[in-house]
Structure 1
Amino acid sequence: MTTTETTVAITEEQALTLRAIVLEVLELEDEELTDTSRFIEDHEADSLLAIEILARIESDLGVVIPQDQLIEMTHLAAVRTVVARNAGGALHD
């Protein structure tokens, strides 16, 4: 038995919201954050900040991400991928 995973594309506005969440939680300037800069290694994030990012994604975008997927969210591009995978129609502006 195989399962099919559905990924919902996120809009540009939602991508900007994700970026804003990460910038605010990690207390970064816009130019410090790239799609592939690593939260822990490059920005000294810790597990509490990662959980705060999860909570903000849920409250701001209405997307619930299981905590076991937190390990995948190592940089902004990965956050967008995980959010898209878990959106399942739940994304709202």
Structure 2
Amino acid sequence: MSDDEREAKVREIVANVVELDESSLTRTGLLVEEHGADSLDAIEILTHLETTFSVEIDPKAASRMVNIDAILEILDEYGAK
């Protein structure tokens, strides 16, 4: 999967969980402060990421998922394909 495809998939997951239009998400937009995500949303996003990218992510990483860039970094950290 290319970087662009991976980013598109992350955007899709986040938009579905937080119930937003994908076009409203920027790479640096804060999910909690700007889009109203909460800790349960973070866990749901994490679960979808693990399933989609066949990777196991430490649940503590959910607190670092503040925007799309941070999520992409976490995926890199955990060797997501």
TM-score between the two structures when normalised by the length of structure 1: 0.79
Q: Is the 8 A contact 2:42 2:63 kept in 1?
A: no
Selected match of 2:20 from 14, 28, 32: 28
Selected match of 1:63 from 46, 50, 55: 55
Selected match of 2:42 from 50, 54, 57: 50
CA RMSD of aligned residues (A): 1.3
Which structure 1 residue ranges, 4+ long, deviate > 6 Å from structure 2? none
Equivalences for 1:3-14 in 2 at 5 Å?
11-14=3-6
Q: Is the 8 A contact 2:10 2:49 kept in 1?
A: yes
- The structure whose Rg is larger is 1
Q: Which has the higher contact order (CA 8 A, sep 6+)?
A: 1
Give aligned pairs, total.
Answer: 80
Where does the alignment leave 5 or more consecutive residues of structure 2 unmatched? Answer: none
Q: Give, in whole Å, the separation in 2 of the partners of 1:63 and 1:27.
A: 24
1:86 paired residue number: 78
TM-score between the two structures when normalised by the length of structure 2: 0.89
Percent identical among aligned pairs is 34
